[in-house]
Amino acid sequence: MMSPLNLSRRQVLVAAGATLLASSVRMVAAPSPAYADTGYSPTVYYKIKNIASGRLLSVLGGGTDNGDDDILYDDVNTTDQFWYIQDSAQGYKKFINVRSGRALSLDQGATANGTRVHLWQYLNGYPDQDWLVAPGTTSGTVTITNRKRADAALSTVSAGTANNTLVQVWDNINASDQSWQIIPVQTFEDPTVLYQIVNKNSGSSLSVQGGGTSNNSPAIVYTDVIAPDQYWTIQDIGGGYYHLVNNKSGLILSLTGGGTSNGTIAMIYDNVSASDQAWTITAQPNGYYKFYNQRRATGVLSVVGAGTANSTQAQIWDDVSANDQYWTIVPVGNSIGVNAINNQAVHSTQMTGVGMEDVNHEIYGGLYSQMVFGESFAEPQSDAGISGMWRKAISGGASGSFALDTSNPFKGSQSQQITFTGGSGSAGVNNMGLNRWGTNWQAGKSYDGYAYMRSTGSVTVQVAAESSAGTVYGSQSLTVNGARWTKHSFSFTPNTTDYAGRFTIKLTGPGTVNIGYVYLEPGTWGRFDGLPVRLDIANAMQSQHNTVLRYGGSSADPGTFGPGMWTNYQWKNMVGPRESRLDYTGWWYEHESNGWGIPDFLNFAEALGINAIPTFNSYETPQDMADFVDYLKGSTSTTWGAQRAADGHPAPYTFRQIEFGNEEKVDSNYATRFNNAANAIWAKDPSIIVTVADVEYTNVITDPDHVTGAGSGLGSLSAYQSILSNAVANNAQIAIDLHIGDDAPERVQQSIDALKSFDYWLHQYNQGAKYHINVFELNSGQHNMERALANAKAISLLQQYGDRVTVVASANALQPDGQNDNGWNQGLVFFDTHRSWLQPPAYVTAMFSEGNLGTVVHAETNNPSLAVSAQFNGSKLVLNVTNESSTAQSPTIALTGFAPTSQTAQITSLSGARTDQNNAGNVNQVTPQNSTTAYTLVGNALNLTFAANSVTVVTLS
């Protein structure tokens, strides 16, 4: 039962929600002109020391309940005096008490001078629980200010210094009671403990170039890839000095040539007892460490150019307190901690999505139920006079001729002409679907279609389901008579099942026919919900439990093949009769079809019951984007609302997010196009979320005007200032699409660190802007177990980033087996002519989606081989564990704020060699395995074993 105090606080917070949001966007003092930091050690706790009194931030009576006051008290080394310092996004921190698991908060969420500071369960989204740590005005101190009221500093009541003095917030007047030190509770007495030494500026680990083991191998910073050269032991050599010993080589961190000048590169070397091999480890007031060299007492371990890119070398440099001179020392262990009362975020239901586009023939030749590939005869000839995806079909003693008619094509630049010139039998052309891999005929099942044809006289045309050799399984004869293009519908039912058949259009007697467009699909038995969607593929996607679909991707990139691309890939070319829609020159295939486009995508997502985010060409005009809002949501009395109704959807759609472009260089030109389009959209409906189409950033951003590692080549984030300001002026919300490369799990952390730094700097640009980060593409070049590990790690880490990331989708949704034309070998669902199956990354999506409990809580590990996230609903906890190691891991799992009553865990696990995948010959090689595992809870901890190369979902009740 809640105490009256608890109820009061909760009621105040809920009732004041609008006020909290308004207050949360006040300007705060910017930190130093570099990315503030990438977080304190998740496995080290800290003491918060008040400078004026010398006493520690503590809890009255050592209390553990919501509402217990924070006080000053002598250092008695009790756990209520220890605090975890954790990221809460955009440079802010939360201070979590080690004893209680509760957060440093403001009483009732108030902000007035004198508001006391107390413990409360971290609720996420309440800015009074977030704090900014900045250098104090006095050397060796920090000031801690509150996010909700940026000019309010952590202080003591009446500037008191005695034991049990209450802690409060007060105007930041640089008073002595507002000065603090953050002291890591950490010793280096055990020479066997392994550590990672992590740079504040980049979040990367101190490593050795190329993993070298020889003398003079340079020390570098590199993203954590669980390599042995990234681990160090710390050896006490007396006199306050230490050796930093590389775990892989056994060599000691030293200075090249024993040099002492600025810029001398750090390297590893045999222990020769030289003074340049001795370091002091000095805790700093902000909770980080500096490493001072004995030979150069004023020089500290730094990074060349304060760089954040992988392989940037470490050096010695004057102590100027730059961010690259601060380090955390993170002990390596084998434990997982879950705090069920530390809410990271209300879990977005859209963290388990997929992106689909026409890479790998996902749509045309795949999901689109159109069985003819080369529907409008646009491809150049293969056989003489025959469009490239078709071949001649001559039977009996007939003779015929073929030509590509360019004088009066149905659409595009050419149509197919067939002439029966003599003999008996038939003369025609056949189509075998995508890249001629075969047409799937099912005995006793109907197939429907139509063809646009014309002739100068009456001719009989037969359409037929056939074997690849021409055996007829079913057919219908049509009479074509007239020089105008006319639609001729047909239907037939094959008498034989054949997964590699062909579809033939042929003349059975003398004459000439011109064919401009052909459509063929299964009857409703083979389509999803009556839509032009292949049933088995849709069912496979449904079994993946996707929660959001994104459509577009590189098909929306402008201009790659000239103006035809961005002229014809426009949404207005995707409405109306399919045969009338203009083809477009695609990024991946030159003769793409608009027969299945954005409206079809919306209908498909609606039938699946999940959210849909379409991507538009960024050269769509503002008027066209405004018209799309009418198509999406307008009355049928509007022009484009009426078109929606004519397309079979009279009711408005409920979707409210779109993306403007794909993988754009977000410079001033793009910003202008984006703002103009967004303004037109918001004039119609201000609730629509318009998404900025950025790419990937691989390096942590320390200066927004000097960006490196942008996938687009962008060198500055400055264009975002106009985008954010425009959104604020319209009181509108935007999203920003950042992609993440995840071909291997070792790559993921670096991109996510860069994403966080991007988010930090945009917040500094405009703290009133309402935006979230979306990841519409987890990209890889593979679809095996290694990619599954990477996807799982990425989703887990993004879940742990609070509510800043609201959509995660993996590319690509689909891939035809054996028909990949472009190298993006990353389909989650594979298919051939007649069946579909899931690849390992698709099972990860399903596992994580099924484990959604609504609230992400804080989870962490000191085992570098593991990535974790957790969700909690009050009675059940779901823990996601990714083990990227080649050996099984058996960590201790410590629980705070939750005591399971069942002594069995429900386990779903996916594992295998990193190269394992589900091939056509064994579509179930890698599948999730379910089990029930008994465990013993000792205190608040249990032990479970996670298989090598595994993704596991653990449910505790």
pLDDT at 590: 86
| Closest residue by Cα to residue 575 from 548, 596, 555, 546 | 596
pLDDT above 90: residue 125: no
pLDDT at 775: 98
pLDDT at 810: 97
Half-sphere exposure of 444 (CA within 13 A, CB side): 0
Which of 12-26, 42-56, 546-560, 688-702 comes out lowest in average pLDDT?
A: 12-26
pLDDT at 36: 43
Write out the E strands in 569-711. 611-616, 657-660, 689-693
pLDDT above 80: residue 25: no
Q: Are 525 and 378 in contact (CB under 8 A)?
A: no
Phi, psi of 602 (to 5 degrees): -60, -40
| Angle, vertex CA 779, rays to CA 773 and CA 782, nearest 5 | 160
- Dig out the tokens for 86 from the structure: 């954790």
Mean pLDDT to the nearest integer, 345-364: 89
Distance CA 521, CA 447 (A): 6
Phi, psi of 85 (to 5 degrees): -115, 115
Q: Are 135 and 12 in contact (CB under 8 A)?
A: no
Distance CA 386, CA 403 (A): 6
pLDDT digits (tens, 9 = 90+) for 40-67: 666 789 999 999 999 999 999 999 999 9
pLDDT above 80: residue 556: no
Q: Residue type at 87?
A: D
pLDDT digits (tens, 9 = 90+) for 799-847: 999 889 999 999 999 999 999 887 789 999 999 999 999 999 999 999 9
Number of H helices, E strands in the chain: 12, 54
Residue 862's pLDDT band, with cuts at 50, 70 and 90, is very high
Mean pLDDT to the nearest integer, 227-255: 97
pTM of this structure: 0.91
What structural domains does the chain harbor?
Answer: 4-184 (2.80.10.50), 195-331 (2.80.10.50), 335-349+854-956 (2.60.40.1180), 353-357+529-850 (3.20.20.80), 375-442+451-467+475-520 (2.60.120.260)
pLDDT above 90: residue 950: yes
Residue 26's pLDDT band, with cuts at 50, 70 and 90, is very low
Percent of the chain beyond pLDDT 90? 88
Mean pLDDT to the nearest integer, 21-32: 27
DSSP string, 332-368: --SEEEEEEEEEEEEPPTTSSEEEE-SGGGSIIIIIB
Write out the E strands in 493-629. 498-507, 511-522, 548-551, 611-616
| Closest residue by Cα to residue 794 from 696, 890, 897, 900 | 696
- Dig out the tokens for 27 from the structure: 């300007």
pLDDT digits (tens, 9 = 90+) for 701-745: 999 999 999 999 999 999 999 999 999 999 999 999 999 999 999
pLDDT at 5: 26
pLDDT digits (tens, 9 = 90+) for 159-173: 999 999 999 999 999
Peptide bond into 812 cis (omega under 30): yes
pLDDT digits (tens, 9 = 90+) for 876-904: 999 999 999 999 999 999 999 999 999 99
- Dig out the tokens for 376 from the structure: 């409008």
pLDDT at 558: 55
For 563, the enclosing helix (H) or strand (E) is helix 563-568
pLDDT above 60: residue 18: no
CA distance to 74, 105, 586, per residue, from 7 (Å):
32, 16, 58
pLDDT at 434: 97
pLDDT at 39: 58
Q: Which residue has the tokens 């775990």?
A: 247
pLDDT above 80: residue 10: no
Q: Are 319 and 348 in contact (CB under 8 A)?
A: no
Pairing of strands 829-831, 836-838: antiparallel
- Dig out the tokens for 691 from the structure: 């998404």
Pairing of strands 399-405, 415-422: antiparallel
Q: Are 376 and 547 in contact (CB under 8 A)?
A: no
3-state secondary structure of 448: strand
pLDDT digits (tens, 9 = 90+) for 501-519: 999 999 999 999 999 999 9
Distance CA 37, CA 87 (A): 9
pLDDT above 50: residue 30: no
pLDDT at 348: 80
The 10 Å Cβ neighbour count of residue 113 is: 12
Pairing of strands 180-184, 892-896: unpaired
Residue 28's pLDDT band, with cuts at 50, 70 and 90, is very low
Mean pLDDT to the nearest integer, 586-608: 93
Phi, psi of 29 (to 5 degrees): -65, 130
- The angle that helices 4-15 and 17-24 make with each other, rounded to 10 degrees, is 70
For 68, which DSSP code? Answer: P
| Closest residue by Cα to residue 538 from 835, 827, 927, 840 | 835
